[in-house]
Structure 1
Amino acid sequence: MDADFGPAGARLVESITSEFDFSLEPAKLALLERAARTTDRIAQLEEAAAQAPLMVKGSQGQQVISPLIAESRAQTSLLDKLLKSLQLPDTDEDTAAKAEQRQRQAKKAAQTRWGNR
């Protein structure tokens, strides 16, 4: 991948390509590049939002949330969709965390059902 990314996008690419090889999958490489650019955009928006007021004047003079916040949320949603489109398999760490969460939920359900007996 020959693209120049910002720090956030470069970290995303590095974290994914260190685990998975997309060299024979140009469609996934294109998705990863778009995800990296989106990650950079989110970082820029969050940096700008940190310097700007949370509330700004709307078109009718009313107070509304900063458009930077709304755009950051939209870009985060896009990033989530792009990453899901990559169809990456779960890592061992993810699998273990999900199993632990299921175990806690099952224990809580059992306590709720049988705890008073």
Structure 2
Amino acid sequence: MDVPNDLGADGAALWTSVTAEIELNPSELEQLRAACRAADMVAELTAALVGEPMTARGSMGQLITHPLIQERRMWDAQLGTLLRGLKIPDKPDSEIDLARKRNRSEQNRANVSVRYKRGGI
């Protein structure tokens, strides 16, 4: 699947690694695209923090955590949420992953078949 042209290097790498292994439906592709944009933002913020101090001065002169650190933490959390929502399997050789590689209708047929064999239907 072609990498969307609005993604940076980190987002494109994430897109390629996921779509090479798993077939996603259109809504999952949109969620992956959002995750890829989040990965790009994390990379940008990480690069912006290079050489920066961990703290900054607040509006009243108090010492605060550098605002980019807080922003990066927020984007890290967003990326994690989006990736968890895709339910990407951890182990590429597991049965779950092999089933995930099938398209949705094949998977549904397989699930019904398993339930039928167990007497669940």
The verdict on a shared fold, with TM-score over 0.5 as the criterion, is yes
Number of residue-to-residue matches in the alignment: 93
The DSSP-based 3-state class of the residue aligned with 1:11 is: helix
Aligned residue identity for 1:42: V
Q: Given the two structures, how large is their TM-score scaled by the length of structure 1?
A: 0.72
**Who is 1:50 aligned against?**
50
Q: CA RMSD in A?
A: 1.9
Alignment of 1:21-100 (within 5 A): 21-22=23-24, 25-92=25-92
**Who is 2:7 aligned against?**
5
Aligned residue identity for 1:81: T
Aligned residue identity for 2:50: A
Percent identity between matched residues is 35
Q: Which runs of 5+ in 2 are unaligned?
A: 96-121
Q: Which runs of 5+ in 1 are unaligned?
A: 96-117
Q: Given the two structures, how large is their TM-score scaled by the length of structure 2?
A: 0.70
How has the CA–CA distance of structure 1 residues 92 and 29 changed in structure 2, closer, same or farther, with 3 Å as cutoff? closer
Which contiguous aligned blocks of 4+ residues in structure 1 show a shift greater than 6 angstroms?
Answer: none
Distance 1:94 1:12 in 2: 21
Query: 1:42 deviation in Å?
Result: 0.4
